[in-house]
Structures are given as structure tokens and as C-alpha cells.
Amino acid sequence: MFVGHYSAAFLAKRVAPAVPLPVFFVTCQLIDLFWGGLVLLGVEKLRVIPDFTRSNGLDLYFMPYTHSLSSAVLWSVGAALLFWACTPGIAQRTRCALAIGVTVAAHWMLDLLVHVPDLPLWFDSMKVGLGWWNYRTFALLLELALLWGSVLACLCVAGENRRRYLVLAVAMTGLQVFSLMKQPAEPSAVALQLLAAYLALTVAAWWASRRSTVNAGTATAA
């Protein structure tokens, strides 16, 4: 799953509006961020096999440190505790930390829907996955439905940035479609492309959620 993961970020933003949207954009993809790094280091493994599934050619045959259920639980608990420890002055601190943890954990649950059985329950054993990537159109519509449903649900806390949230969703829709049409042939290129996309989307989330200069200046003058 790609942009569908960001549905957890937008929904978490609605539940915990004190947390900046870019933070949720990082945490919803935290597992994949570490996965990309470990692939580049040669620790976790994948093969690119054309038409491995109807949606992509990714044979994700070894990723126990990031995509096992046991590791996902540790990533989510660790992220929640780290956020809680580093934000003593934030409003509703515990609620925000829980939102962070759930956003990280949601990554594995959403992957479960689309992955073929390559998600281990424990380290590299007992692999599961519903395989909806094998239904290309359905998988695409699922991702877009998750994205747009969560964005629309989040508009109530977007304030003056509602239009930017919608522009961001349009851009993410285009990126999702592009990712289906243009897929790298080498494992390292896959990891680099995804890491670059995650960085670009985090910057886009910062743009979508920042206060406009005009309104900020008016507030200061008042």
C-alpha cells in the first residue's frame, strides 16, 4: 500500500489536532522508512519480478525487522513513548502519543489487506497477507477511497488550509497512479524512489498545514 497509508495520518490529525500533520506523515510510514534504509544496507531483502502481482513486481521475501507483526508492535510502542517523552508541553499529551502509536501500527494492518502472504507474524515466520494487490483496479480504488475519505474527515480541523489539504490529496492521487505505471527494476531503486516520495510528501504536508503569511501577519498586528 502507498497513499492509503496516509489515511491513518489524516484521521489521527482529526483525533489529535495538536500534532502537526507532517509528524503524522512520518509516523504512518515509519515502518517503510526503516524498511527502505535496511534494504539499501542489504539487511532486508526484496526481488523485483515483473507481474509478481497485478499491481507491482515486488517480491518482499525477507523483512522481519520492519514488517513482522511483532516488530510493528515494537515500532508503534517505541514511537508513542518517544513522542510522549519529547513533548512535555503539548496539549493532551497522552492522547497525542496514543495517536502516534496507532498511526504507526496502522501501517501493518493496512499492508495486511494488499500484500500477498509476505508479512510475518513473528520474525520471519507465519507469513500472512490477503493479496488484494492481485486485483489491480480494486486495490487502486481502495487506496484512493482511504485517502479521500480520511482527507474529507480531516477538513473540520484544517481551518484556513482546507483548500491546501484538497490540493495535497489531488497530488497524492496523481502520485499513486504514477507509481503503478512507473516502477523501478532494481531493489535499491525501489527503496530510493519510495524514500524520496515519503520525503516529498512530508514536505507537501508541511506546506498544506502551514499558516498563510497574510493571516499570520494580521493576527500579529491584532
Dmax over Cα atoms in the chain, in whole Å?
A: 61
Give per-residue burial for 19-36: e unless 16+ CB within 10 Å, then b.
bebbbbbbbbbbbbbbbb
| C-alpha cell belonging to residue 96 | 497525542
Q: What pLDDT does residue 131 have?
A: 97
| C-alpha cell belonging to residue 149 | 475519505
Q: CA–CA distance from 185 to each of 72, 178, 182, 195 (Å)?
A: 27, 15, 10, 16
By three-state DSSP, how is residue 138 classified?
helix
Q: What pLDDT does residue 167 have?
A: 98
Rg of the chain (C-alpha set): 18
Domain ranges of the chain: 3-210
pTM, to two decimals: 0.93
Q: How far apart are CA 115 and CA 76, in angstroms?
A: 20
Q: CA–CA distance from 171 to each of 19, 25, 162, 164, 174 (Å)?
A: 22, 15, 14, 10, 5
Non-local (6+) Cβ contacts of 73 within 8 A are 105
Q: What pLDDT does residue 211 have?
A: 82
Q: How far apart are CA 30 and CA 26, in angstroms?
A: 6
Beta strands in 49-118 (DSSP E): 58-62
| C-alpha cell belonging to residue 141 | 480504488
Q: How far apart are CA 215 and CA 200, in angstroms?
A: 25
How many CB atoms neighbour CB 209 within 10 A? 20
Q: How far apart are CA 197 and CA 222, in angstroms?
A: 39
* Tens digits of pLDDT across the chain (222 residues): 999 999 999 999 999 999 999 999 999 999 999 999 999 999 999 999 999 999 999 999 999 999 999 999 999 999 999 999 999 999 999 999 999 999 999 999 999 999 999 999 999 999 999 999 999 999 999 999 999 999 999 999 999 999 999 999 999 999 999 999 989 999 999 999 999 999 999 999 999 999 865 554 444 444
Q: How far apart are CA 190 and CA 136, in angstroms?
A: 19
89 burial (CB, 10 Å; 0-12 / 13-18 / 19+) is exposed
